[in-house]
Amino acid sequence: MVGLSSSIQEYLKAIPEPRYRILKNSTPLSGGIIKRGEIRLVNFASNDYLGLAQDPRLVERATSYAREFGTGSGASRLVTGNSPAYELIEQKLADLKGTEAALLLNSGFQANATVLASLLNKFLHRGPGKSEALLFTDKLNHASLHFGAQAAQARQIRFRHNDLGHLEELLEKSKEQPGNRIIVTESVFSMDGDILDVERVRQLARQHDAFLYIDEAHATGVFGKNGMGLCAGGISRDELVLGTFGKGLGSYGAYIACSQNVRDYLVNACPGLIYATALPPQVLGAIDAALDLVPGMETQRQYLKELGSFLREGLEARGFSTGGSTSQIIPVIIGDDATVIQVARKLEDKGYLVGAIRPPTVPEGSGRLRITLSAAHSHDQVAGLLEALVSTLEEVGS
Q: For residues 312-349, b (16+ Cβ closer than 10 Å) or e, as one string?
A: bebbeeeebebbebbbbbbbbbbeebebbbbbbebbee
Is residue 196 a contact partner of residue 188, using CB atoms and an 8 Å limit?
Answer: yes
Instruction: List the catalytic residue out of 48, 218, 239, 337.
Output: 218
Report the alpha-carbon distance of residue 73 to residue 58 in Å, rounded.
19
Neighbouring C-beta atoms of residue 88, cutoff 10 Å: 13
142 is catalytic: yes
> What is the identity of the amino acid at 137?
T
Q: Among 43, 47, 141, 327, which one carries the catalytic annotation?
A: 47
Q: Is 173 a catalytic residue?
A: no
Candidates 55, 138, 186, 337; catalytic one = 186
Q: What is the DSSP string of 307-341?
A: HHHHHHHHHHHTT---TT--SSEEEEEEE-HHHHH
Q: Is residue 19 within 8 Å of 337, Cβ to Cβ? A: yes
Burial of 398 (0-12, 13-18, 19+ CB in 10 A): middle
Cis bond leading into 363, ω under 30°?
Answer: no
Given the residues 215, 239, 288, 337, the one annotated as active site: 215
The tally of CA atoms less than 13 A away on the side-chain side of residue 321 is: 9
Which entry of 142, 146, 208, 377 is annotated as an active-site residue? 142
Q: Do the strands 33-36 and 210-215 form a parallel or antiparallel pair, or are they unpaired?
A: unpaired
DSSP 8-state secondary structure symbol assigned to residue 160: P
Is residue 247 among the annotated active site residues?
A: yes
Out of 97, 146, 208, 247, the active site residue is: 247
> Is 218 noted as a catalytic residue in this protein?
yes
Q: Quick one: which of 324, 327, 397, 338 has its CA closest to 367?
A: 338
Angle, alpha carbons 77-67-84 (nearest 5°)? 30
Respond yes or no: is residue 208 known to be catalytic: no
Between the alpha carbon of residue 270 and those of residues 104, 137, 155, 216, 255, the distances in Å are 12, 21, 20, 20, 13
Based on the residue annotation, tell me whether 125 is a catalytic residue of this protein. Answer: no
String of DSSP letters for 41-71: EEEES---TTSGGG-HHHHHHHHHHHHHH-S
Determine the residue type at 194: D
Would you please indicate which residues are annotated as catalytic (active-site) residues? Answer: 47, 142, 186, 190, 215, 218, 247
